[in-house]
Chains A and B, each alone.
Chain A
Amino acid sequence: MSVPMQAQQAHQGLQSSTDWSWLNDWRRRAWVQFAETPWPTRKTEAWKYTPLKSMLDTEWALASDTSNATGIRFDGWDRTVITLVDGKLTDHDALPDGVTVRLMSQATPEQRASFEQRLANTLAGDQLFTTFNQAMLAEAVWIDVAPETVLEKPLHINQVLSADARDRVVPVRLMLDLGARSQMTLVETFASEADGPVFINPVTEIEVGDSAKLTHYHLLLETGDVRHLGAVQAVMQAHSQLNSFHMALGGVLKRKDIVVRHCGSGADVQLNGVYLPTGKEHIDYHTTLEHEVPHGTSHEVFRGIIGDDAKAVFNGRIHIHKDAQKTLAELSNKNLLTSSRAEINTKPELEIYADDVKCAHGATIAQLDKSSLFYFQSRGINRKEAEAMLSFGFINELLEALQDEPVKQLLRPLLAALFAKDDSLARHSK
Chain B
Amino acid sequence: MLKVNDLHARVENTAILHGLNLEIKPGEVHAIMGPNGSGKSTLGNVLAGRPGYEVTGGTVTYNGQNLLEIEAEDRARAGVFLAFQYPVEIPGVSNMEFLKASVDSIRSARGEETMSSMDFIKLAREKCKAVDLPQDFLKRGVNEGFSGGEKKRNELLQMMLLEPRLCILDETDSGLDIDALQVVANGVNALRSPERTIIVVTHYQRLLDYIVPDYVHVLAKGRIVKSGGRELALELEKHGYSWIDEEVA
Closest to B107 in A: A380
Distance in Å from the Cβ of B15 to the closest Cβ of chain A?
A: 21
Distance in angstroms from A345 CB to nearest chain B CB is 24
Interface size on B, residues (CB 8 A): 31
Interface residue from A370, A378, A392, A397 paired with B82 (Cβ < 8 Å): A378
- Residue in B closest to A373 when the chains form the complex, CB atoms: B51
Given contacts A375-B87, A389-B98, contact A381 B105 (CB under 8 A): yes
Which of B72-80, B189-197, B199-207 is found at the contact surface with chain A? B72-80
Mask, B48-83, CB within 8 Å of A = 1, is 111110000000000000000001110111000110
Known A382-B105, A392-B93: A377·B88 in contact at CB below 8 Å: no
**Assuming A370-B51, A389-B97, A389-B101, is B77 touching A380 (CB within 8 A)?**
yes
Chain B residues, Cβ within 8 Å of A375: 84, 87-88, 90, 142
A-B contact count (CB 8 A): 81
B92 close to chain A: CB less than 8 A: yes
Contact B93–A369 (Cβ < 8 Å): no
Distance A377 CA – B50 CA, assembled complex (angstroms): 9
- CB of A41 closer than 8 Å to a CB of B: no
Selected from A374, A382, A393, the residue in CB contact (under 8 A) with B93 is A393
| Given A372-B88, A374-B50, also A379-B76 (CB < 8 A) | yes
A389 contacts which chain B residues (CB < 8 A)? 93, 97-98, 101
Interface string of A390-422 (1 = CB under 8 A from B): 101111110010000000000000000000000
CB-contact partner of A390 in B48, B72, B93, B106, under 8 A = B93
Tell me, yes or no, whether B42 is within 8 Å of chain A by CB: no
Separation of A370 and B97 alpha carbons in the complex (Å): 19
Task: Report B-chain residues with C-beta under 8 Å of the C-beta of A370.
Answer: 51-52
Question: Chain A nearest CB: distance from B73 CB in Å?
Answer: 4
Instruction: Verify if A383 is at the interface (C-beta below 8 Å from B).
Output: yes
Q: Are B92 and A392 in contact (CB under 8 A)?
A: yes
Residue in A closest to B78 when the chains form the complex, CB atoms: A380
From B82, which residue of chain A is reached at the shortest CB distance? A378
A26 at the interface (CB under 8 A from B): no
| Closest CB in chain B relative to A195 CB, distance in Å | 35
User: Is B240 on the interface with A (CB-CB < 8 A)?
Assistant: no
Residue of B48, B82, B88, B106 with most partner-chain A CB within 10 A: B88
Question: Interface size on A (CB < 8 Å)?
Answer: 25
B228 within 8 A of A: no
- Nearest neighbor of A374 in chain B, beta-carbon distance: B50
Closest to A397 in B: B92
A376 at the interface (CB under 8 A from B): yes
A385 at the interface (CB under 8 A from B): yes
- Assembly CA distance A273 to B91 (angstroms): 17
Are A378's CB and B48's CB within 8 A?
yes
Chain B 99-156 residues near chain A, CB threshold 8 A: 101-102, 105-106, 109, 141-142
Q: Would you call the interface of chain A mostly helix, strand, loop, or mixed?
A: helix
Question: What are the residues of chain B within 8 A of A377 when measuring CB–CB?
Answer: 49, 71-73, 76
B162 within 8 A of A: yes
Residues A376 and B92 in contact, CB atoms below 8 Å apart: no
Complex-state Cα separation, A397 to B73, whole angstroms:
25
Tell whether A371 is near chain B: CB-to-CB under 8 Å: yes
B172 in the interface (beta carbon within 8 A)? no
Question: Does A378 lie within 8 Å of B97, measured CB to CB?
Answer: no
CA distance A325 to B172 in the complex (A): 49
Residues of A within 8 A of B49 (CB): 377-378
Find out whether the CB atom of A379 lies under 8 angstroms from the CB atom of B158: yes
**In the bound complex, do residue A394 and residue B162 qualify as a contact, i.e. CB atoms below 8 Å apart?**
no
Option from B51, B106, B141 in Cβ contact (under 8 Å) with A380: B106
In the complex, how many angstroms separate the beta carbon of B162 from the nearest chain A beta carbon?
7
The answer to whether B90 touches A393 (Cβ under 8 A) is yes
Q: How far is the CB of B81 from chain A (nearest CB, A)?
A: 8
**Chain B residues with CB under 8 A of A378:** 48-50, 72-73, 75-76, 81-82, 84
Are A393 and B105 in contact, with the CB atoms below 8 A? no
Contact B91 A397 (CB under 8 A): yes
23 chain-A/chain-B pairs, Cβ below 8 angstroms:
A370-B52, A374-B51, A375-B90, A377-B71, A377-B73, A377-B76, A378-B49, A378-B73, A378-B76, A378-B82, A378-B84, A379-B101, A379-B102, A379-B106, A380-B76, A381-B102, A383-B71, A389-B98, A389-B101, A392-B93, A393-B90, A396-B93, A400-B92
B residues bordering A, Cβ < 8 Å? 48-52, 71-73, 75-77, 81-82, 84, 87-88, 90-93, 97-98, 101-102, 105-106, 109, 141-142, 158, 162
13 more CB-based (< 8 A) A-B contacts, given A377-B73, A392-B92 = A372-B90, A377-B71, A378-B48, A378-B50, A378-B73, A379-B105, A380-B73, A380-B109, A383-B71, A389-B101, A390-B90, A393-B141, A396-B93
List 10 A-B pairs, minimum CB-CB distance, nearest first: A393-B92, A380-B76, A393-B93, A379-B102, A397-B92, A396-B92, A380-B105, A377-B72, A377-B73, A380-B106
